[in-house]
């Protein structure tokens, strides 16, 4: 299944840029194959238009400026409101706005320090609520935002996969001499997958400082969620009570590329563990995932028989089951994945 062929994925919110990045000026991006441009309006709120000027079809992201909150095209200076309305044509100031002179707008809001965009007028779900985002006892640490040559659903599915930790992360939190088989407890969730487990991990010197745990091994009490379609949270509680809650996002650029965004909420203080050290360690973990995920194909299989599975794959099989239901119920191009959608949903659970 190729997500860009299925318009249903346009009906979700995706984080694109940090607001502070947009403070430097308009930025272009490609979301699900659609070129868009983002900027901050006069109130400091993010705005988004299709990245195409209606005048001569130049990209609005090229050499554009912000004039009193409006986006001014770099080609002829036409100015556009966040609604797409053309406010001003410098060569013909008397020209009145019309449908032909309007740019196409997209819904765009700020949350968690990022600009979020939905390409459809009728989102299926709101922007996900994140654990501890409003909790004064936690600090938010930005870790990275980078473009990966990886399918966004593969990246999201990787968050549900605890079987890879011992091998992919052998230089950070894994020990390939001790592959683990934790018991997974699935928790019902209407628009995602949630499971809990106790996950033993290696605890090497740099992480010992971040966690304030001196032992060479420790256990994460993990509460892991996939939030349809490209968001996930990994909520880890350590034996000393420390909470490290990863908020990860895979924003689809196209079928083979995504923007991988991550920040965390921590229950400790900067004096106890510097945010820069925490982010550096998690970036190392992420780079290990990236190497393997970029080797996977762009196609994301929904048929449970398309790939082999093991017991620990049950969360990802349920994820694929939910995606099949999503396409069946809401996608006008569901026929393009007819073969994959024909598999009964019960197979996802039974195969595990």
Same-domain status, 50 and 87:
yes
Instruction: Provide the mean pLDDT of the chain.
Output: 94
The rounded distance, in Å, linking the Cα atoms of 331 and 7 is 6
Single out the residue in 59, 86, 118 at which a domain terminates. 118
The Cβ of residue 325 has, within 10 Å, a number of other Cβ atoms equal to 12
Task: Check residue 98 and give its pLDDT.
Answer: 73
Q: Does 304 fall in a domain?
A: no
Q: Does 303 fall in a domain?
A: no
| Contact criterion met (CB below 8 Å) for 166 and 176 | yes
Task: Determine the number of helices (DSSP H) and then strands (DSSP E) in the chain.
Answer: 8, 17
Same-domain status, 331 and 278:
no
Same-domain status, 201 and 109:
no
What Cα–Cα distance (Å) separates residue 82 from each residue in 63, 66, 113, 120, 236? 18, 11, 19, 16, 40
The rounded distance, in Å, linking the Cα atoms of 48 and 209 is 42
Q: Does 125 fall in a domain?
A: no
pTM score, two decimals? 0.93
Q: Does 123 fall in a domain?
A: no
Looking at residue 127, the DSSP 8-state letter turns out to be P
What is the phi-psi region of residue 55: left when phi exceeds 0, alpha when psi lies from -120 to 50, beta otherwise? alpha
Domain range spanning residue 21? 3-118
Q: Does 129 fall in a domain?
A: no
Phi, psi of 287 (to 5 degrees): -65, -30
Task: Check residue 22 and give its pLDDT.
Answer: 97
In 3D space, the residue among 330, 264, 332, 300 whose CA is nearest the CA of residue 12 turns out to be 330
Q: What is the CATH number of the domain that holds 83?
A: 2.102.10.10
pLDDT tens, per residue, the chain with 352 residues: 999 999 999 999 999 999 999 999 999 999 999 999 999 999 999 999 999 999 999 999 999 999 999 999 999 999 999 999 999 888 888 877 776 789 999 999 999 999 999 999 999 999 999 989 999 999 999 999 999 999 999 999 999 999 999 999 999 999 999 887 889 999 999 999 999 999 999 999 989 999 999 999 999 999 999 999 999 999 999 999 999 999 999 999 999 999 999 999 999 999 999 999 999 999 999 999 999 999 999 999 999 889 999 999 999 999 999 999 999 999 999 999 998 898 777 644 444 4
Phi, psi of 238 (to 5 degrees): -95, 165
In 3D space, the residue among 150, 330, 332, 184 whose CA is nearest the CA of residue 254 turns out to be 150
Same-domain status, 107 and 161:
no
Dihedral of CA atoms 313, 260, 178, 238 in degrees, nearest 10, equals -100
Give one DSSP letter per residue of 64-124, joined into a string. Answer: -EEETTEEEPTTT--EE-TTS-EEE-TT-TTPPP-GGGPPPEEEEEEETTEEEEESSSS-S
Give one DSSP letter per residue of 171-194, joined into a string. Answer: TTT--TTS---PPPEEE--TTEEE
Same-domain status, 286 and 316:
no
Same-domain status, 193 and 62:
no
Same-domain status, 289 and 334:
no
Same-domain status, 319 and 216:
no
- Kindly report whether the peptide bond that precedes residue 330 is cis, defined as omega within 30 degrees of 0: no
Q: Does 321 fall in a domain?
A: yes
Distance of alpha carbon 68 from the chain centroid: 31
Task: Check residue 234 and give its pLDDT.
Answer: 98
Same-domain status, 34 and 145:
no
Same-domain status, 152 and 223:
yes
Q: Does 37 fall in a domain?
A: yes
The rounded distance, in Å, linking the Cα atoms of 65 and 78 is 10
Q: Does 92 fall in a domain?
A: yes
H or E segment and range at residue 320: helix 314-330
| Contact criterion met (CB below 8 Å) for 49 and 71 | yes
In 3D space, the residue among 125, 156, 149 whose CA is nearest the CA of residue 8 turns out to be 125
Same-domain status, 201 and 270:
yes
In 3D space, the residue among 104, 179, 148, 155 whose CA is nearest the CA of residue 316 turns out to be 155
| Contact criterion met (CB below 8 Å) for 251 and 238 | no
Q: What is the CATH number of the domain that holds 180?
A: 3.90.380.10
Task: Check residue 95 and give its pLDDT.
Answer: 74
Q: How many structural domains is the chain composed of?
A: 3
H or E segment and range at residue 202: strand 192-202
C-alpha radius of gyration, the chain, whole number:
22
Same-domain status, 262 and 315:
no
Task: Check residue 346 and give its pLDDT.
Answer: 60
Task: Check residue 101 and give its pLDDT.
Answer: 86
Q: How many CA atoms lie within 13 A of 134 on its CB side?
A: 3
């Amino acid at each position: 299944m190729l997500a860009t062929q299925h318009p249903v994925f346009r009906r979700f919110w995706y984080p694109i840029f940090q607001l502070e990045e947009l403070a430097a000026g308009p930025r272009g991006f490609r979301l699900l194959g659609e070129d868009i441009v983002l900027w901050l309006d006069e109130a400091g709120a993010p705005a988004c238009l299709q990245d195409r000027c209606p005048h001569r079809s130049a990209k609005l992201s090229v050499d554009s400026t912000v004039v009193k909150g409006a986006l001014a095209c770099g080609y002829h200076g036409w100015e556009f409101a966040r609604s797409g309305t053309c406010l001003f044509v410098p060569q013909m100031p008397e020209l009145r706005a019309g449908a032909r002179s309007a740019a196409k707008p997209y819904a765009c809001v700020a949350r968690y320090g990022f600009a979020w965009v939905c390409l459809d007028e009728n989102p299926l779900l709101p922007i996900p609520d994140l654990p501890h985002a409003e909790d004064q006892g936690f600090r938010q640490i930005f870790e990275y935002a980078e473009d990966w040559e990886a399918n966004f659903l593969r990246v999201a599915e990787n968050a549900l996969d605890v079987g890879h930790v011992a091998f992919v992360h052998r230089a950070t939190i894994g020990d390939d001499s001790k592959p683990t088989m934790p018991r997974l407890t699935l928790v019902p969730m209407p628009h995602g997958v949630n499971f809990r487990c106790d996950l033993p991990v290696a605890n090497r010197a740099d992480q010992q400082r971040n966690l304030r745990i001196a032992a060479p091994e420790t256990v994460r009490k993990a509460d892991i969620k996939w939030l349809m379609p490209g968001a996930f949270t990994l909520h880890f509680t350590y034996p000393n009570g420390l909470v490290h809650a990863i908020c990860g996002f895979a924003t689809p650029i196209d079928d083979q590329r995504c923007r991988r965004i991550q920040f965390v909420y921590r229950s400790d203080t900067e004096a106890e563990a510097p945010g820069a050290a925490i982010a550096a360690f998690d970036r190392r973990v992420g780079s290990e995932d990236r190497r393997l995920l970029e080797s996977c194909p762009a196609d994301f299989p929904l048929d449970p028989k398309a790939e082999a599975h093991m017991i620990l794959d049950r969360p990802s099989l349920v994820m694929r089951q939910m995606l099949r239901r999503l396409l069946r119920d809401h996608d006008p191009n569901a026929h393009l994945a007819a073969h994959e959608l024909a598999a009964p949903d019960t197979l996802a659970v039974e195969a595990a």
